[in-house]
Structure 1
């Protein structure tokens, strides 16, 4: 710090306070530089804060609500500063807290049922406990093991997101705890914490509780130790989960969040809910890990009852839209069921595929694709389902999707009509008296059709099936081929780098290294952009925001632009690369 350097000595405000005879903790908490001094390990300050009396008062600021007539400093600033002092991770202060059972009792008194639980203090409590969990793992876990009712109290408050974070860190989302402190964490596997969490689906109607319970269980499926992982993927636990999800009296949020847990069990890398808590692992991308056979079988037992919920005929809800009305709308619960099916079919389970065929699940789901032509969420999941069927090595599954589900015929019929039909038998109806709009799933149908052609090149069965349908052959020649040519983005030149040679690609995910850009066109665009002041030098106050700049003020001509862009070409051995343009502009 500056005040400790020879020749630049300046008295610290904290030192000034501590030089007084009767200074108090509140005097220090009111000083903005106290956190900076703690991080700088000011010995005089640390020795004062480590005293038991001061640690107790800091904890009380974190766990006790301020009186209604208290000043703002007591209500807001002091709890915040107290929390920050602990999270500065000064070992001697944390040790003074975690090794004193009375102080730990005071800290965890925040989660007592009769205690008020404001979101503000819950956040501070969470930060302190997580800090102790990371820096004082063994003594904290010994304390919790000796007071195992803490686990139940945390579960009871799982609707508070900050408390949920403590629970997640404690039981499964922090990898290093279970690798570095095996003995201290082992006892958690013998508790019934999973049952307590899943039973929150039945004990309350609060959607926030359901969402946070699902988030905690999803975190456990990703990172939990072997004991908890085996328990959460067992058929008995899956059955318990589905019993809560399929109760008639339960709100729809139970079904949606229960299926999020099932999806996470099938595909641990998939993000299934709104918030994705990750701590020590980076997000991994890659192939989906195969689910345990017993886990899949446990889900298949309830699949029939789950598929019954896809029936929309009994509902009378009406949702008016810009294109007409939905009678009824699809709803989040049906969308989640279809997402679950799309993940279930990717695990390559023969039992799951046979059950889906037997129950007619794929046929019903494909009908929903055409009954709701403006729901892009369902189109996305159903396209994934069809892709998984066509990629499957199970010939009966491919035959089912083509012959029983009539995939090709449904695509041709939808393409023939092109517009939304005023059919009272389907839930999506156009506005009366107006020209029906074009259906909104043409793009997905095009991708599915291209997938069929792609697979036909490798499968004689698919090839012969497609060639045996004269309408398909005609539509492929007259419509699909032209549409693919029109939708090839590498033939466009509307504001993106122009490709001099068409590569015949239809995805931005392809490699870039062999693409040949029109350097002259790019150079001209850059030159014009800087000439008209689109990119300005923020350090130049003159003419800031003006669209008029003299050409001689900018030393960036067409030739310079070509040099900059040409230098972007990197080695051919790189699969992907990022392009960084450094443009140096010098003003007179």
Structure 2
């Protein structure tokens, strides 16, 4: 069947190629027949396309440069050009390099190809922009040196690309540019430095830019730098951590005007911060002037980060930001505040005394604890706050922990109050436990573990947190016992023990197995058992799959 189809395609093309004065457009009108014959390396067809005039027209359709002609029907003409652009792009990008090599070996054709960067509509406004960007990516991979010679010869070619990074097809082309020469063998990284790539990239996080620009720029940078694959890329990454560049980036993040600038800016800075913390080693007593720049600058902006989190807590009943939910009216937390909490958790992991003095003066801990107990059901928030509180509990000096978390934040009293309110609601209203209860129990158990290691800490809690001992020996103990029960009983002991399933505590008969299945279903929240012994309910015996 394939043979006969191929023969049909060849006949279609030969009908055109045998004409005395055929045009490229007549070939392009054959659509898939034309593409297939190019892939099949039809010798007569390829010989024609490799001539300069047809090849120039083919490139022109891809990048939106057309011969002067009288346009009678603009709509029909544009549709034809769009179809031709797609077809020509497919041919240029095919696995055989004959056509792409011919373009790159002809300086005039290569200049024509990259001319789409210079036109205002060349990247996004024109009909052919996705095809131009795709073909450019392919040529760049195949002929790096030739393509970069043209790019470097054009004034502000990098700026022209970055100005349209909000469009997906242009963003993909930019990523190809950044990824194609990470060892700087062809001078690409040096060209990026000469074109002030770092400064232009940071400017894309301005609140005045649209959200798609913030997202694409952040993801492009993370893709470029993760992981740094060479010393040259590392040196480029270090430019982002220079004080002026990082300060400008943080100014955009804490501006407060644009949520996406905050979110995506923090998303990228987090990658730099994780690297700084990992490479910084032991920094507990390091003074701020000797800290890695990324950690020092991040610490200097903690008060502004705190303001971003605090503003969600000051809304009143008449606040127009409040929305109605199934749990009452709340101010939406929004993802950029969760990203700010993630940022704080990573910065805290530096375990530096100066940074801690900043996590305390800016009232970060008080804000985090209040957020935790204000949003009953936001487990993303509860996880982020737990990542901040738990390491602080485990790794800091006892006196500091008690002063910050228990004297200032009143964490012990809040845990007890939240547990009592939850128990009352569950018992009186027959509702589910609040979403933060699992995290709350985890934090409480960590506090209890600290009591066991340090009797002085236990005395502080007993003297300053009313009801703590009763909570630990009552409600917390009950929760721990309930959640430590092994579902389905103890694991059966192997045959080598000489014990039977009955003796090992395993299920004794079919009724026991059904009881286990029922228990599992109820715990998972099903109103009725979803399966019985021997298979799924209603399943035919012996059914495969």
Report if TM-score (shorter chain) is over 0.5.
Answer: yes
Deviation sequence 1:284-303 (CA, Å, 0-9, x none): xxx96659811111222222
The reply to whether residue 480 of structure 1 matches residue 476 of structure 2 is: yes
Question: 1:230 offset after TM fit, Å?
Answer: 0.9
RMSD of aligned residue pairs (Cα, Å):
4.0
What are the residue-to-residue correspondences of 1:363-402 with 2, within 5 Å?
363-392=366-395, 398-399=401-402, 400-402=404-406
Cα distance in 2 for residues equivalent to 1:404 and 1:417: 22
Name the residue aligned to 2:497: none
Name the residue aligned to 1:50: 50
Contact 2:451-2:457 within 8 A present in 1 as well: yes
Question: Which shifted more, 385-394 or 409-418?
Answer: 385-394
Name the residue aligned to 2:111: 105
Cα distance in 2 for residues equivalent to 1:288 and 1:517: 50
The gaps in structure 2 that reach 5 residues or longer are 67-72, 282-290, 494-505, 518-530
Question: 1:438 offset after TM fit, Å?
Answer: 5.9
Cα distance in 1 for residues equivalent to 2:214 and 2:5: 57
SS of 1:179's equivalent?
coil
Contact 2:12-2:33 within 8 A present in 1 as well: no
Q: Against the structure 1 CA distance between its residues 294 and 203, is the aligned structure 2 distance closer, same or farther, given a 3 Å change threshold?
A: closer
Question: 1:491 offset after TM fit, Å?
Answer: 0.7
Contact 1:256-1:333 within 8 A present in 2 as well: yes
Deviation sequence 1:21-52 (CA, Å, 0-9, x none): 23443444433254444444444444333333
Question: 1:125 offset after TM fit, Å?
Answer: 2.5
Name the residue aligned to 1:304: 303
Q: Against the structure 1 CA distance between its residues 299 and 528, is the aligned structure 2 distance closer, same or farther, given a 3 Å change threshold?
A: closer
Cα distance in 2 for residues equivalent to 1:165 and 1:121: 15
What are the residue-to-residue correspondences of 1:168-567 with 2, within 5 Å?
168-171=175-178, 174=179, 177-179=181-183, 181=185, 183-202=187-206, 204-223=208-227, 225-247=233-255, 250-267=257-274, 293-312=292-311, 313=314, 316=319, 317-326=321-330, 328-392=331-395, 398-399=401-402, 400-418=404-422, 439-453=434-448, 471-488=467-484, 490-491=486-487, 500=491, 528-529=535-536, 532=539, 554=542
Contact 2:82-2:128 within 8 A present in 1 as well: no
Contact 1:244-1:254 within 8 A present in 2 as well: yes
Deviation sequence 1:338-382 (CA, Å, 0-9, x none): 222122223444432232123221122111111222333221211
Question: Which shifted more, 47-56 or 143-152?
Answer: 47-56
Contact 1:235-1:297 within 8 A present in 2 as well: no
Cα distance in 2 for residues equivalent to 1:12 and 1:459: 86
Cα distance in 1 for residues equivalent to 2:83 and 2:446: 60
The reply to whether residue 139 of structure 1 matches residue 146 of structure 2 is: yes
Name the residue aligned to 1:74: 80
SS of 1:320's equivalent?
strand
Cα distance in 2 for residues equivalent to 1:519 and 1:289: 58
Name the residue aligned to 1:543: none
The gaps in structure 1 that reach 5 residues or longer are 270-286, 422-433, 493-497, 503-515, 534-550, 557-582, 584-588
Q: Against the structure 1 CA distance between its residues 500 and 420, is the aligned structure 2 distance closer, same or farther, given a 3 Å change threshold?
A: closer
Deviation sequence 1:379-423 (CA, Å, 0-9, x none): 1211111123234355565443344333232211111122899xx
Question: 1:70 offset after TM fit, Å?
Answer: 1.8
Cα distance in 1 for residues equivalent to 2:480 and 2:142: 58
Cα distance in 2 for residues equivalent to 1:241 and 1:268: 17
Contact 2:9-2:37 within 8 A present in 1 as well: no
Q: Which has the higher helix share?
A: 2
Cα distance in 2 for residues equivalent to 1:53 and 1:203: 47
Contact 1:420-1:437 within 8 A present in 2 as well: no
Q: Against the structure 1 CA distance between its residues 76 and 407, is the aligned structure 2 distance closer, same or farther, given a 3 Å change threshold?
A: same
Cα distance in 1 for residues equivalent to 2:88 and 2:338: 46
Name the residue aligned to 2:99: 93
SS of 1:418's equivalent?
helix
Contact 2:254-2:308 within 8 A present in 1 as well: no
Cα distance in 1 for residues equivalent to 2:340 and 2:438: 23
Cα distance in 2 for residues equivalent to 1:41 and 1:58: 17
Q: Against the structure 1 CA distance between its residues 85 and 194, is the aligned structure 2 distance closer, same or farther, given a 3 Å change threshold?
A: same
Cα distance in 1 for residues equivalent to 2:300 and 2:253: 13
Which residue, out of 150, 156, 162, partners 2:163? 156
SS of 2:18's equivalent?
coil
Contact 1:357-1:397 within 8 A present in 2 as well: no
Name the residue aligned to 1:122: 129
Question: 1:184 offset after TM fit, Å?
Answer: 4.4
SS of 1:325's equivalent?
strand
Q: Against the structure 1 CA distance between its residues 120 and 413, is the aligned structure 2 distance closer, same or farther, given a 3 Å change threshold?
A: farther
Question: Which of the two has higher C-alpha Rg?
Answer: 2
SS of 1:309's equivalent?
helix
Name the residue aligned to 2:500: none
Contact 1:217-1:261 within 8 A present in 2 as well: yes
Q: Against the structure 1 CA distance between its residues 114 and 183, is the aligned structure 2 distance closer, same or farther, given a 3 Å change threshold?
A: closer
The reply to whether residue 21 of structure 1 matches residue 18 of structure 2 is: yes
Contact 2:60-2:112 within 8 A present in 1 as well: yes
Query: TM-score, normalised on structure 1?
Result: 0.70
Q: Against the structure 1 CA distance between its residues 137 and 420, is the aligned structure 2 distance closer, same or farther, given a 3 Å change threshold?
A: farther
Deviation sequence 1:487-514 (CA, Å, 0-9, x none): 458515xxxxx87359xxxxxxxxxxxx
Question: Which shifted more, 66-75 or 313-322?
Answer: 66-75
Contact 1:366-1:382 within 8 A present in 2 as well: yes
Q: Against the structure 1 CA distance between its residues 354 and 45, is the aligned structure 2 distance closer, same or farther, given a 3 Å change threshold?
A: farther
Question: 1:131 offset after TM fit, Å?
Answer: 1.5
